[in-house]
Chain A
Amino acid sequence: EGQLVETGGGLIQPGGSLRLSCAASGFTVSSNYMSWVRQAPGKGLEWVSLIYSGGSTYYADSVKGRFTISRDNSKNTVYLQMNSLRAEDTAVYYCARTIAIIIGNAFDMWGQGTMVTVSS
């Protein structure tokens, strides 16, 4: 069936950087679309970033220029490099396998999430 395991979250000061990792098992990340979706405490879901199987990447306006999604095919792992972090980036960050539907994408497998807290 497959599994996603996120690591790398923690407490970071505003302006700092953090790299999240998402290790996949049971399927190959390079053959799939992969996304990061976040959820602020007590709030709803927000799509953050997507990497297509071909390598193209997309970002929400709220993180564009600060976050970078990438993958290491040899490790079957997806990353989210987060720079210039702000208090409003505080959230649980989920890694999600992303399926292509006739139009658009949805998220059919999710990790357990990793908490990122941006605070001084």
Chain B
Amino acid sequence: EIVMTQSPATLSVSPGERATLSCRASQSVSSNLAWYQQKPGQAPRLLIYGASTRATGIPARFSGSGSGTEFTLTISSLQSEDFAVYYCQQHNNWPLTFGGGTKVEIK
């Protein structure tokens, strides 16, 4: 099973600033990585798949990069609605596995 590790656990950012979230895989997953956003009491929402392809309706301020074992989700200018928990998920191997999440909170 591929273990996904996200860092930091919590990221404090001011509105309008840039946020950079990291995800590391225990072995190469090529470019087969997705990112999700989850707000309190809500279901997750797909943001990115294939490491860098935005899902339908996702704003351009969300971008993904990386390959192999190191991946990054960047939110270029944080809006109030972006404060949430973000999860990465590898879709290269079975079972599909998620990272532990990064909470983006208001600084």
Contact = CB atoms under 8 A, between A and B. Distances in A.
B34 interface: yes
Main secondary structure of the interface of B (DSSP, over half): loop
Interface residues of A, number: 21
B44 A107 contact: yes
B87 A45 contact: yes
Contacts, number: 60
B50 A45 contact: no
B30 A103 contact: yes
Interface string A38-57: 00000011110000000000
Contacts of B89: 45, 106-107
Interface string B79-105: 000000001011111111111110000
Interface in A76-120: 94, 99, 101-108, 110-113
B98 A45 contact: yes
Contact of B92 (A61, A99, A103, A110): A103
Contacts of B43: 94, 110-113
A103 B45 CA distance: 20
A58 interface: yes
Interface of A: 44-47, 58, 60-61, 94, 99, 101-108, 110-113
Given A45-B98, A47-B98, A108-B56, 13 more contacts: A44-B98, A44-B100, A45-B36, A47-B97, A58-B94, A101-B49, A104-B92, A106-B89, A107-B34, A107-B44, A107-B46, A111-B43, A112-B43
Pick the 7 closest A-B CB pairs, nearest first. Answer: A104-B91, A110-B43, A106-B34, A45-B98, A47-B96, A106-B49, A103-B32
Interface of B: 30, 32, 34, 36, 42-46, 49-50, 55-56, 87, 89-101
18 contacts: A44-B98, A45-B89, A47-B95, A47-B97, A47-B98, A58-B94, A94-B44, A101-B49, A101-B91, A102-B32, A103-B30, A104-B96, A105-B96, A106-B89, A108-B46, A108-B55, A110-B43, A110-B45
